[in-house]
Structure 1
Amino acid sequence: MFNLNDIIRPNVLKMKAYSSARDEFKGDASIFLDANENNLGSLAGENYNRYPDPHQKKLKARIAGIKGVQPEQIFLGNGSDEAIDLLFRMVCTPGQDAMLHLPPTYGMYEVSANLNDVALEAVQLTPNFQIPVQELLAQVKPTTKIIFICTPNNPTGNAIESESIEQVLRNFNGLVVLDEAYIDFSDSPSWTTRLAEFPNLVVLQTFSKAWGMAGLRLGLAFASAELIAVLDKIKPPYNINEATQELALKALFQTEALKDMVEKIVQERQLLMQALPALPAVEKVFPSDANFILVQVKDANRLYHYLLEKGIVVRNRSSLPGCAGCLRVTVGTLEENQKLLQAIAAF
């Protein structure tokens, strides 16, 4: 039986969160002399002389309505990378505990593990980029505290089978972190709908992809209110700046525009997936539930540099396990995609 307090680091359980000026003040006031702000104003614009809401209450209320969760189940971070780092800090004792991930996958899990001195253990995805569940569970040790699963997976683009994820959730007494950065482009339902069922589940999402807000750096973690309360305790007090909160809140009222953009990207993805296999340089196009496509080509390094010469930047993923000879291509505009196809055809 999973018990969150059993895996949180003892020092984290005991610590008290930093109490900011905005946490201590309650009620209404017209003169603020508590936070050592510049009361003359800001050279950057109105309201930026004041510290932002450390709890992002307005933003979380809007997100909760869109995602069908409670505000207390939402953590907002400086990109989902902040949530990844804080999850390590929350449950992994440096030099003692371990994590499991499934390469080829998102590289920040490994970077954060190394930064936090957490042993990095890996089980490679199957040739069709799914989880070898029994092999994964056999690798679990008493010191294994987190398993990271990216779905749809980066860089392969495919969604991970829900039955496999459920098996992992039911048979592992640590945190299972599902990174859903690309969920908006997939037909698979989000695992946020099953948070109540699995107390060890953490779902990561981001506003960098479908919402088009990569420059604002706003990521999300969804989990039980108990787990989110711990993340809120250990985060920096003002981790989401005022400009990001304002602009994100404005964007969150444009859900129809989001739907239109996602539909266009998925349509362009399908057109690319139909056109790429016909090109002589292309050997295989992998299925994609994301806003990118993994493409196996005859000479990945040469084609990558050839495209650079043409002013087209893709990602060379051929050094990753299971991705020999592969380039990762983000779905662009109709014009960009046509130029890409023309360039590969002329290679």
Structure 2
Amino acid sequence: MNGDTGSDALLDLVREDLRGFGGYASARTYDLKGEVWLNANESPWANPADAGGASRRYPDPQPPALREALARLYGCRPGQLLVGRGSDEAIDLLVRALCVPGRDAVLVTPPVFGMYAVSARLQGAPLLEVPLVDGDAGFAVDLGAVAAAAEQGGAKLVFLCSPSNPTGGSVPLADVAALASRLAGRALVVVDEAYGEFSDQPSAITLMARHANIAVLRTLSKAHALAAARIGSLVADPALVRVLRACQAPYPVPTPCVELAVAALSDEALARTSARVAQVRSERARLRQALATLPGVVRVYPSDGNYLLVRFGDPGAAFDRLLAAGVVVRDQRAVAQLGDALRITIGTPDQNDRVLAALDAREAAA
């Protein structure tokens, strides 16, 4: 690792008043052993609805079994992982820990996931926007414009959604690495890989050994079908993970969710997940090809995620036809650059057939 991209330079990006901040030391912070636990003011009796009785105890703040399973899944070390309530919590923690209100900016590339901008606004961080470029190959990030805007606007955080939601494109790893090199000592480049399992591109985690100012967001909500469990991870330099842990709430992940996630990361469960991801990818290709042949469809964008962005000649009519058929999709018409677009999640083969039937005006007229 180059010296100018090491942990020391990374910690210089943290708010001055939070460097060395210890946070709240909960009863589970200390690795103490005993048979009678009377240190957390918990009930000595289980709730009548809790047959096993485990829920009367506070959970481990960063459950070792879950961190180890996630580290194996993502190809990193447990010390590089911060586990929290979905990716949203990690986004909020990053903005709060790195951005001084009114001074340090957050850069985003719209149209994109809206929580980056929400977290910036809640922190009072200036928001810099470098719109995606809509070209023949789909929407793409203008990395030169991103780098220039980050330098000129004082960005501490640059969020790259890859695959991007809702547009579906991925940022090439070479571009991520080049941006991180240019912004070393200035900004943290955060690659949101919520949909990474559906893409052929390797994870940006593979770049972190050479670039300490890259962090990666992952989640079990999408490919692993655990959206309700709210298990998200930030993979980052261990020094930054320690800072964010001090800023995190004492018990971020409920025990039942941890147990469910650990079970979902067993070899057998992962094999089934892999098969379902392969089916989604196959259905994505089929649905994209079929949608492109329908009257009223203007453009279907390529996608590395489990969704397709589709432009329509009459998006309102398309949305209404889908809703009348009992199909709910994401309306993008209020989003800049997407006034004629809908985002359609890839469903089961039967669900996808239902989408096609609802949108086929010829079939509706028959």
TM-score (norm 2): 0.92
Q: 1:246 aligns with which of 240, 256, 259?
A: 259
- Could you tell me which residue of structure 2 aligns to residue 5 of structure 1? 11
Whether the 8 Å contact between 1:96 and 1:119 is mirrored in structure 2 is yes
Residue by residue, what CA displacement relative to the aligned partner does 1:301-327 show, whole Å, maximum 9, x if unpaired?
Answer: 221123212211011113323323111
- Could you tell me which residue of structure 2 aligns to residue 32 of structure 1? 37
- What is the DSSP-based 3-state SS (H/G/I as helix, E as strand, rest coil) of the residue aligned with 1:7? coil
Q: Which amino acid aligns with 1:4?
A: L
141-150 vs 251-260, which deviates more? Answer: 141-150
How far off its partner does 1:158 sit? Answer: 1.4
Q: 1:110 aligns with which of 109, 113, 117?
A: 117
How far off its partner does 1:279 sit? Answer: 0.5
Residue by residue, what CA displacement relative to the aligned partner does 1:72-115 show, whole Å, maximum 9, x if unpaired?
Answer: 00011101000000000111011222111101111111111111
Q: 2:78 aligns with which of 64, 67, 71?
A: 71
| Residue 206 of structure 2 is aligned to residue 196 of structure 1 | no
Whether the 8 Å contact between 1:124 and 1:321 is mirrored in structure 2 is no
Q: 1:52 aligns with which of 43, 52, 59?
A: 59
Whether the 8 Å contact between 2:221 and 2:230 is mirrored in structure 1 is yes
User: Partners in 1 of 2:82 and 2:17 — Cα distance?
Assistant: 21
Query: 4+ residue runs of structure 1 moved beyond 4 angstroms?
Result: none
Q: Which amino acid aligns with 2:30?
A: E
Cα gap change, 1:330/1:142 in structure 2, threshold over 3 Å: closer, same or farther? closer
User: Partners in 2 of 1:197 and 1:101 — Cα distance?
Assistant: 23
User: Partners in 2 of 1:30 and 1:5 — Cα distance?
Assistant: 39
- Could you tell me which residue of structure 1 aligns to residue 239 of structure 2? 226
| Residue 139 of structure 2 is aligned to residue 133 of structure 1 | no
Whether the 8 Å contact between 2:284 and 2:307 is mirrored in structure 1 is yes
Q: 1:150 aligns with which of 135, 149, 161?
A: 161
Q: 1:41 aligns with which of 43, 46, 59?
A: 46
Q: Which ranges in structure 2 are unaligned for 5 or more consecutive residues?
A: none
Whether the 8 Å contact between 2:104 and 2:126 is mirrored in structure 1 is yes
User: Partners in 2 of 1:57 and 1:147 — Cα distance?
Assistant: 30
- Could you tell me which residue of structure 1 aligns to residue 270 of structure 2? 255
Whether the 8 Å contact between 1:113 and 1:120 is mirrored in structure 2 is yes
Q: Which amino acid aligns with 1:17?
A: G
Q: CA RMSD in A?
A: 1.3
- Could you tell me which residue of structure 1 aligns to residue 29 of structure 2? 23
Q: How much identity, in percent, do the aligned residues show?
A: 37
User: Partners in 2 of 1:142 and 1:299 — Cα distance?
Assistant: 38
Whether the 8 Å contact between 1:196 and 1:224 is mirrored in structure 2 is no
Q: How does 1:322-333 map to 2 (within 5 A)?
A: 322-333=337-348
Whether the 8 Å contact between 2:66 and 2:262 is mirrored in structure 1 is yes
User: Partners in 1 of 2:145 and 2:348 — Cα distance?
Assistant: 41
TM-score (norm 1): 0.96
How far off its partner does 1:163 sit? Answer: 2.7
